[in-house]
Each structure stands twice: as C-alpha cells, then as structure tokens.
Amino acid sequence: MTNIPRHEHPRPQMHRENWINLNGQWQFEIDNGRSGKERGLYKDINLSSSITVPFCPESSLSGVNNKDFMECVWYKRTITVNKNWLSNGRRTLLHIDACDYHTEVWINGVSVGTHIGGYSSFSFDITEKLNEGVNQITVCATDLLRTSDQPGGKQCKGYFSKGCSYTRTTGIWQTVWLENVASSNIASFKCTPDINTSSIYFDVLCRNANCMEVKATAYFQGKETGSCIATIEGKHARFNMELDELHLWSCETPNLYDLVLELGDDKVASYFGMRNTYYHANKFYLNNKVVYQRLILDQGFYPDGIYTAPSDQELLNDIKRSMDMGFNGARLHQKVFEPRFLYHCDVLGYLVWEEHANWGLDISKDKAWESFIPEWLEILERDYNHPSIIGWCPFNETQKDQNINIIKYVADMTRAFDSTRPVIDTSGWVHVDGASDLRDKHDYDQNPLTFKERYDAIDQQKKNYDGYVDENCAPVFISEYGGIWWSETDTSGWGYGQRPNSLDEVIERYRGLTEVLLNNPNLGAFCYTQLTDVEQEQNGLYTYDRKPKMDPAIIRAINSQKAAVEE
C-alpha cells in the first residue's frame, strides 16, 4: 500500500479496519466550458488525461502542473467491490476529505450527491449504486474563484501569483477513500473533557441504531482507565465517563488516551486529551496554568503539492521546524488544515488556532451566508475533538464596509457549538463590538522602538487601541507581526517593511520586536509571520523548500525568554 501517495489513514480520530485508500492514478479532464454534463462525462466514457490524486492539477506532484484557471475538472476511476462489503446490510461510504469547490459524484453513471465547500470533509453512502465486482466513480468539481462567491483563502485571482496571494488549488486536494461499515454504525462523536471531575462527556451520533447500546472504553498506555455503556435515543447517545486516572494534555506532556467506541458490529478506534483552556484578563490558561502562546503563522503551502503536503512526514516536519525555533504553536492561516496535521499537533503538544479561508468571499453579498456558514459548521464538527485546537477564528481581515451581521452570527454560532474555546470574530482589522472573546491585532511595524511605544500604552484594565476601548478587558493578542523580508539570493520578492541589509540585521530586528511583546505584562500571546516563504512572499524563517535562513537555535533562544505574564 505504500506505493499509494498519502497512503496513511486520513482521520486518526475515526479509524475503522475496513477501508480502502483511492489515492493514485485517476482519469482526468479539464472542462473550462463546463459542458461535461451535456457531453455525458459522468457516463462510461474515458477522460482525456490522467492525474495523481490527491494532488491538485496546479501542482507538479499531480502530473498535470497547469497553473491557469480551471473552472471545472473531472475525475474518473474504477474500483472493485467484493461480496462481503455488500452483504448483511453493510454500508459503503465514499469519503472525499477536501475538494475545491462545488463537487458532484456519480457511481456507475448515477449521481449520489453534491457538496459545497473547498475545505471541509464530506462523504456519500454509495451502497445502493454499487455492484459486486467492478464499479466506476466519477467526480466533477466546479471552481469559480473569481466570482467572489466562495472562500478561496490565499488563492490568487490573477493569473500570476502576487504579493500574499499564491498559486490556486482546484478540485481534489485531500485523500479519497472508501469505508465499509455495519448497518448500525457510529457517524461521529463529540467529546468534551472536564479535568475538574476527571471525566469526559460524550455525544455520539449514530445511524440506524435507536435503542441500541454504545460502549466507550478509554485506555492510557494500554491500561483501561474508564468504561461506559449508554442507550441510543433516536440518533444520539449522551453520557459521561469517569476516568480512574487523570493525565493532562499539555505542551510539555501531551498525554493522549486511546478510545474504543463499539456499537453492535461497528468498532471505531480514536483518542482524546484531557485539558481545559480559557483566557482571563491578559493571560491564556491551559489546565489552569498560565501559558504564553509563542505562535508562528503557518499557511500550509508546499512547492510541489501547493495545498497538499507531499507526505505525512512533511506535515510532521513543519511542526518540528516550528518547535525547533521555540514556538509552541501556530495560527493556521487562511486554510483549513487536514486532520492528519492536527493529529500530529495533538501528539506533540502543539497549540493551534483554526481559521477558515474566508479571503475571496465578498461577505457584503447575501450569498455569503450560504457559501460560508454550512462549511464552517462542518469544520467545527470534524475538528472539535482535537486537544491541540485552543481557539477558533472564522474570519481574517474583513473590511468595514462588509456585513457585520454575518460576522457576529458566525462568532455566536461558533460559541454556541463550542463553549470550551475562545473565539476571535475576525482577525486583525475590524472587530465587531461584542462578537470576539479577544481583541487581536496585526501590526507590521518594523521598528522595535515605535512598536514598543504603541503597546506600552495598552492599559491593563481597558485595552485601548485604534480608538477602541474594551470595557470587559478582553485580552490583546498580537496575531500577526514581523514578516521580515529576507532572502540570501533574491531581492525581487516581497515582504513587510524595508528589506534588511544582512542576516544579522534580520535577527536583531526579530529580537527587538519579539522582546517588546514578551516583556509587555498586558500581552499574553504573539504570532510571528511566518514559518516559511511562500512563492514570492519571502518573509519566512525558512525558505519555501524548508531550509532555515538562520540557525534555529538563535530564534529559539529569543522565543524561550520568560514572558512578563509568566512571572
């Protein structure tokens, strides 16, 4: 199986034994005229080319390497289904973990469903359309980025990448896979830890299982530490499981419990972490202890895979590169990262803020509601159980003339779905009064002296900047700063401020700006821009091909200084 690209199971929090990875060679065709349906491409017709899934056609790893706009693309391949997958009422699910943007799927020429959104995972029950033996899957993705009717993140609306907008991603860009499940099965679950009572609350969503029983068993390092059986009422089983032993998840000790959920013949392997997280005044707390967030901005772009890491190891390596420089987490910026990345964050004790890719969507339009809210809810539902996620941020840098109602509604909806994590309504520019738990700011001042003067003026009781006074004393988070423009070999790129004259000047500027934030007793978190260069944007601490621009130990020593709030 290792000859299949990105062959690992894509969702470690919902692992079953009966699954097939469908990555690899598919038929492929670009359909810029969007005439494929009329031409019957969903039928038993060969497509004109081929592609390596899960890499987008803009990437070199896909084998297509087409950098132009592609308004519609088609995929096709055959699968073989054995009799066991079709017997005893078992169900077969087709999962597509991300496909940008509007997706329709056919099995043997019959449509089985559509999905809107380029960043959330989705699936279809394709059982009724399958035959024993060979079957054909066809996928069509329509991607109208230039309409401003869909979130596109940092995908460039011009032909050439420019500034902080980069190469686009069209169609499938995460793993496609089949899963075979029992007739009565677990669709998803939500688990909420309570470290004060050494217990964890479960809400398990089930299919075709009313009045049946769900069993949950927790293990720590192979030892059973808790078990509970609950009856399903309608579609849900809700219960609280007490743990015999409490092992907290933290940056220093990222303890994880193994979890097994059982419903009749259905068995799901998963895991969870026990921790709490909240802000109070100017401090961030993890497990009731102050933790200064030393974060890096991570945009998740790769030279050969664009949105898709070439391997699971490279997902892990990016986290390790950040930690090597003394960062304890990241702001995942304008892209929803795949579950395997979040899994590695969970294992390593790496803190992350999750953000949707709202750029490209004009939220002054009425259509923005239907283009954004359903997908954001899918993202919340999929990623809720990751202990590494310590905050949600649905929007980034929205404008004053856009619809504030959608921003406030989405922030309130996010809090209603998850009361355990803080929410930033819209990062950086214009907050909506009463919508955000934090007041965060993007500040690319390159002068440590003026940078310090500005934040020395923040009063601990009332956070005052840009003319706004927060009577509730919400903490201030400098969620973008720095962005120091530097390349040893290229002076034609782009970054923030005046380009330094030497690497030594880069380091001293980084030191000056970062120490301003660390030494300010009214600031509890920072996020430096950014982990790596991305195409023409050359303000990373690593180059685009992941080479460090300076000795990581130098940045680590600066970041590791004790912050004022840690005194």
Task: Give a yes or no: residue 54 inside a domain.
Answer: yes
Round to whole Å and give the CA distance between 245 and 287.
Answer: 16
pLDDT score of 389: 98
> Cα dist. 299→55, 164, 166, 511, 535 in Å?
17, 10, 11, 23, 12
Q: Quick one: pLDDT at residue 459?
A: 61
C-alpha 87/C-alpha 512 separation (Å) is 66
Q: For residues 201 and 77, state if they share a domain.
A: no
Same domain, 367 and 423: yes
Query: Is residue 125 very low, low, confident or very high in pLDDT (cuts 50, 70, 90)?
Result: very high
pLDDT at 434: 84
Q: How many CB atoms lie within 10 A of CB 551?
A: 12
**pLDDT tens digits, 150-206:** 999 999 999 999 999 999 999 999 999 999 999 999 999 999 999 999 999 999 999
pLDDT-derived band of residue 269, with 50, 70 and 90 as boundaries?
Answer: very high
Q: Taking 60 as the threshold, does the pLDDT of residue 463 lie above it?
A: no
Q: What are the tokens at 463?
A: 């956070």
Query: Same structural domain for residues 450 and 516?
Result: yes
Co-location of 470 and 404 in the same domain = yes
Report phi then psi at 382, rounded to 5.
Answer: -70, -40
* 566: DSSP letter: G
Residue 198 is classified by DSSP as: T
Looking at the whole model, is its pTM more than 0.75? Answer: yes
Q: Collapsing DSSP states into helix, strand and coil, what is residue 116?
A: strand
Q: How far apart are CA 405 and CA 281, in angstroms?
A: 27
**Residue 323 and residue 260 in one domain:** no
Answer yes or no: is 342 within a domain: yes
Q: Structural domain of residue 531, as residue ranges? A: 291-566
Instruction: Return the number of other C-beta atoms located less than 10 Å from residue 40's C-beta.
Output: 10
Residue 445 corresponds to which tokens in the numbers above? 């001042």
Q: Indicate whether 180 belongs to any domain.
A: no
Q: Are 433 and 391 in a shared domain?
A: yes
Are 395 and 410 a contacting pair, CB within 8 Å? yes
Q: Is residue 3 assigned to a domain?
A: no
pLDDT value of residue 282: 83
- Looking at the structure, tell me whether residues 41 and 120 fall in a common domain: yes
Q: How far apart are CA 201 and CA 216, in angstroms?
A: 11
| Per-residue pLDDT at 470 exceeds 90 | no
- Mean pLDDT of the region 535-548: 97
Burial 342-371 (b: 16+ CB within 10 A, else e): bbbbbbbbbbbbbbbbbbbbebeeeebeeb
Q: Are residues 477 and 441 in contact, defined by beta-carbon separation less than 8 angstroms?
A: yes
Paired residues of 277 in beta bridges: 286
| pLDDT score, position 474 | 61
3-state secondary structure of 16: coil
Which of 123, 142, 174 terminates a domain? The answer is: 174
Same-domain pairing of 457 and 313: yes
Among 555, 563, 566, which Cα is nearest to 296's? Answer: 555
Examine the domain organization and report whether 28 and 151 are in the same domain: yes
Are 152 and 360 within 8 A, CB to CB? yes
Q: Cis bond leading into 54, ω under 30°?
A: yes
Domain at 331, CATH number = 3.20.20.80
**Model confidence at 472: pLDDT above 70:** no
Q: Report the pLDDT averaged over residues 539-553.
A: 97
Q: Residue 438 has what pLDDT?
A: 87
pLDDT category of residue 461 using cuts at 50, 70 and 90 = very low
Mean pLDDT of 299-304: 98
pLDDT in tens, 396-425: 998 777 788 999 999 999 999 999 999 999
Query: What's the pLDDT score for residue 433?
Result: 83
3-state secondary structure of 73: strand
The dihedral through the CA atoms of 464, 466, 467, 472 has a sign that is negative
Among 257-266, 391-400, 472-481, which range has the highest average pLDDT?
A: 257-266
The confidence band for 281, taking pLDDT boundaries of 50, 70 and 90, is confident
Asked whether residue 283 is domain-assigned, the answer is no
CA dihedral angle for residue 537, residue 539, residue 541, residue 544, rounded to 10 degrees: 10
Taking all residues of the chain, what is their mean pLDDT, rounded to a whole number?
94
Give the span between the Cα atoms of 470 and 336, in whole angstroms.
30
Pairing of strands 476-482, 523-529: parallel
pLDDT given for residue 439 in this prediction = 83
CATH number, domain with residue 161: 2.60.120.260
What does the alpha-carbon distance between residue 429 and residue 414 come to, in Å, rounded to a whole number?
20
469 has a pLDDT exceeding 90: no
Query: Phi, psi (5° rounding) for residue 257?
Result: -90, 140
Strand partners, 52: 25
Q: What is the 8-class DSSP label of residue 112? A: E
Is residue 163, in this structure, part of any structural domain at all?
yes
Residue 432: pLDDT band by 50, 70, 90 thresholds? confident
What CA–CA distance (Å, rounded) separates 76 from 61? 18
Output the domain CATH number for residue 265.
2.60.40.10
> What is the distance between the alpha carbons of residues 538 and 533, in angstroms, rounded to a whole number?
5
Which residues fall within 8 angstroms of residue 265, CB to CB, at 6 or more apart? Answer: 182, 184
pLDDT exceeds 80 at position 510: yes
Residue 329 domain flag: yes
Residue 269 sits in the same domain as residue 295: no
Query: DSSP labels for 248-298?
Result: BB-SS-B--EEEEEEETTEEEEEEE-B--EEEETTEEEETTEE--EEEEEE
Q: Inform me whether the pLDDT recorded for 139 exceeds 80.
A: yes
Question: Are residue 216 and residue 170 in the same domain, yes or no?
Answer: no
> What tens digit of pLDDT does each residue of 438-455 get?
888 999 999 999 999 988
The answer to whether residues 85 and 227 belong to one domain is no
Distance of CA 10 to the CA centre of its chain: 13
The number of folded domains in the chain is 3
More confident residue, 472 or 104: 104
Tokens of 248: 């907290």
Over residues 214-229, the mean pLDDT reads 98
